[in-house]
Structure 1
Amino acid sequence: MSTTTSHTSEPDGPAGGPARPARLIQNEATTEIPVHLLFRDDPHPAPVPLRPAVVGRRQGTGEQPRLRRPAAPPRPVPQVDADLAERPARVLPGAAGVLAGACGLAGCVATSWWAGVLPPLALEALRLPARAGAGLGPLQWAAYAGAGALGLFGFGGLARGRTGRAWVLDLFGRYRGTVRRSGLLWVNPLLLRRRVDVRLRHWRSEPVPAADASGVALRVVVLVVWRVRDTARAMLGVEDHEAYLRACVEAALARVPVEMPGGAAGAGDAAAEALTRLVASDAAPVGLEVFSVQPLRVEYAPEVAAAMHRRRIAALDARHRASVLTSVVDSVEDTVTRLTMRGLVELDDYERKVLVKDLTVAFCAGRGETSP
């Protein structure tokens, strides 16, 4: 009787269970999920919050973790006092000031007549009867003070408003409003008046440092068209709004590359739009409205002007040589093609090369004599 012995491999799993297949990747990391989590009796399970997965490095594969670059924070915008905004000031027509001043002057004359100190010439001019007054007493001095104060307030508050000009009124360091009206007005003489020009204005800058896309130093003269939109913020938000506008233009030129004239098509318009957008956003919080920032003259900085001039001449010379060579090659090709197609000559490879060489030398010499 023969006995057959079967050789079986030892199972990887527990006794009596199925054998686990061998791993294809030896250093693969796996996670076992409990079976009771897959078959739950709860018909309405509570939602499980999911956190964003992080892809890490797997062992043995050499794969590096993928990191997300953090977004750049937005550029901070300058802010001023939120409560500081232009509002109309309370003023009266100029007739009110004239009337108050006339009343004060008339009160002073009446008080003088009452006290009997009015000169005879004034009595004759005003056709007032002579009167023996009681002299200057406390009542007369009080009447003089009241009438004089009324006259000073009436005539001292008269002002002439002009179109395109405004006054920013300030009382003991507190903003009291803006006057944009024109004509004869009466403004409280206790208020401090600051005149500001609200017309459309343009400013032609001095040569400002800048750079092109390659980092070459430039000097740029720009024309800025602007006006004061909010007089309160322009006069009280900054020390000098014109100096602030100049600083905004210099900062924008330091961030926006400017191309020399004759560069890429549309580069000048793109630079002007970018400059206008940056300067307008920086000047808006202080009450300035910028309409356009246009580069007028662009030139190289003195320290690099000579080197860039030689570079431009060399580039123009290389471009001219390339155009001449292209023209010569086209002429030689056209000549050889015509000669062979019309059957005027029969050339082998060597003779063709010699002919091409001779024609190239001849055409180049002719181009060199005719070129300036």
Structure 2
Amino acid sequence: MASTSHPISKTSVTEKPLLVSISGYALLVVALVLLAFAGISFLQAHEPTILSVTLFVLSLLIFKGMSVIAPNEAVITTFLGTYMGTMKKSGLRWVNPFYSKQKISLRARNLNGQALKVNDKSGNPIEIAAVVVWQVDDTARATFDVDDYSVFVHIQSEAAVRKLASSYAYDHSEDDHADITLRDSTGLINEYLERELNERLARAGVVVIEARISHLAYAPEIAQAMLQRQQAAAMIAARRQIVDGAVGMVEMALLRLEDKGTVTLDTDRKAALVSNLLIVLCGEKSVSPIVNTSA
């Protein structure tokens, strides 16, 4: 399948690490100490003082700059609408308290797509669905280049599955000359789907780990007709194999009779013998043939 290029916008924001970020454990202790001194100062003066208010505000600013980052999680920071960087190191981190912070998951996710009704390359309606395993790779693109990256993944996955289904025939019975079909070339089809999804989702900073077709069938309105055609094709193939084997056995029988000189058969007798043997070998029911070799 010819892949379609989906170039990333020139205004795209690329992920970068946040340089101004420190461990928050020591500052947490400092904030608690400041909060305690602010409380003590307030209790001693029995009214808010400049010292108690200052200590209280400083402790609040330290607390506001704290971020708890779990494994496979990131925090995106912005300041007055400007992207400052992404924190990915897990633990308690502290940044400028005036930065806006947004958490984003880096864990792998599953998208179990619904069955879509699409026309394949031959125009037959089929039902197809895919399972996609994906995760956020570039937090900046996932946050700033698309409105909602989860919805973007869902819609683009459906579009990719529809394009894939319309690019190939369901099986070889639909297109005898096709090298790749949806049913008979599962490995290649999955590779093409994964490649198409990665190209479509690159602008959202999402990478596809695995993509597989989970459901493939003819649409209900033509399923019965297609089943009858497949059964007919299977019956024809079986009959062809039976006839090929029977002809070989008849040829072998005639050669052995002639080589051993058991009987001498003219052309008419050979034709009759061949006819009887084919009836015996190709018939569906048991028969009791009478082979007459006398003059």
TM bin, normalised by shorter chain, reads 0.7 to 0.9
For residues 153 and 181 of structure 1, what CA distance do their matches in structure 2 show? Answer: 22
2:33 aligns with one of 102, 105, 109: 102
The alignment's TM-score, normalised by the length of structure 1, stands at 0.65
Larger radius of gyration: 1
Count, aligned residues: 273
Aligned CA distance change for structure 1 residues 108 and 309 (closer, same or farther; 3 Å): same
Aligned to 1:280: 198
For residues 193 and 170 of structure 1, what CA distance do their matches in structure 2 show? Answer: 7
Question: Is residue 76–residue 85 contact of structure 2 (8 Å, CA) maintained in 1?
Answer: yes
- Tell me the SS of whatever aligns to 1:271: helix
For residues 98 and 170 of structure 1, what CA distance do their matches in structure 2 show? Answer: 26
Aligned to 2:232: 314
Q: Give the C-alpha shift of residue 298 in structure 1.
A: 2.1
Aligned to 2:290: none
Q: Give the C-alpha shift of residue 81 in structure 1.
A: 5.0
Aligned to 1:3: none
2:187 aligns with one of 234, 250, 269: 269
For residues 253 and 211 of structure 1, what CA distance do their matches in structure 2 show? Answer: 12
Which gives a bigger RCO, structure 1 or 2 (Cα 8 Å, sep 6+)?
2
Aligned to 2:291: none
User: Which structure shows the bigger proportion of residues in strand conformation?
Assistant: 2
Question: Is residue 258–residue 268 contact of structure 1 (8 Å, CA) maintained in 2?
Answer: no
Q: Following superposition of structure 1 onto structure 2, how do residues 31-70 of structure 1 map, counting pairs within 5 Å?
A: none
- Which residue identity does 2:130 align to in structure 1? V
- Tell me the SS of whatever aligns to 1:356: helix
Q: CA RMSD in A?
A: 3.0
Aligned to 1:85: 14
State percent identity of aligned pairs.
Answer: 27
Indicate yes or no: 2:94 matched with 1:186. Answer: yes
Structure 1 unaligned segments of length 5 or more: list them.
Answer: 1-73, 118-135
Aligned CA distance change for structure 1 residues 306 and 195 (closer, same or farther; 3 Å): farther
User: Which structure shows the bigger proportion of residues in helix conformation?
Assistant: 2
- Tell me the SS of whatever aligns to 1:106: helix
1:131-177 Cα shifts (integer Å, max 9, x gaps): xxxxx5xxx54444322211211223333211111112234443232
Aligned CA distance change for structure 1 residues 149 and 317 (closer, same or farther; 3 Å): same
For residues 91 and 259 of structure 2, what CA distance do their matches in structure 1 show? Answer: 92
- Which residue identity does 2:267 align to in structure 1? D
Aligned to 1:342: 260
Question: Is residue 210–residue 217 contact of structure 1 (8 Å, CA) maintained in 2?
Answer: yes
Question: Is residue 107–residue 144 contact of structure 1 (8 Å, CA) maintained in 2?
Answer: yes
Q: Give the C-alpha shift of residue 287 in structure 1.
A: 1.0
- Which residue identity does 1:87 align to in structure 2? K
Aligned CA distance change for structure 1 residues 276 and 214 (closer, same or farther; 3 Å): same
Question: Is residue 64–residue 97 contact of structure 2 (8 Å, CA) maintained in 1?
Answer: yes
2:56 aligns with one of 133, 140, 148: 148
- Which residue identity does 2:106 align to in structure 1? V
- Which residue identity does 1:277 align to in structure 2? R
For residues 231 and 258 of structure 1, what CA distance do their matches in structure 2 show? Answer: 38
Q: Following superposition of structure 1 onto structure 2, how do residues 1-372 of structure 1 map, counting pairs within 5 Å?
A: 75-82=4-11, 84-89=13-18, 90-94=20-24, 95-113=26-44, 115=45, 117=46, 136=47, 141-210=49-118, 212-256=120-164, 257=168, 259=170, 267-365=185-283, 367-369=284-286
For residues 272 and 160 of structure 1, what CA distance do their matches in structure 2 show? Answer: 38
- Tell me the SS of whatever aligns to 1:362: helix
Which one is further off, 272-281 or 343-352?
Answer: 343-352
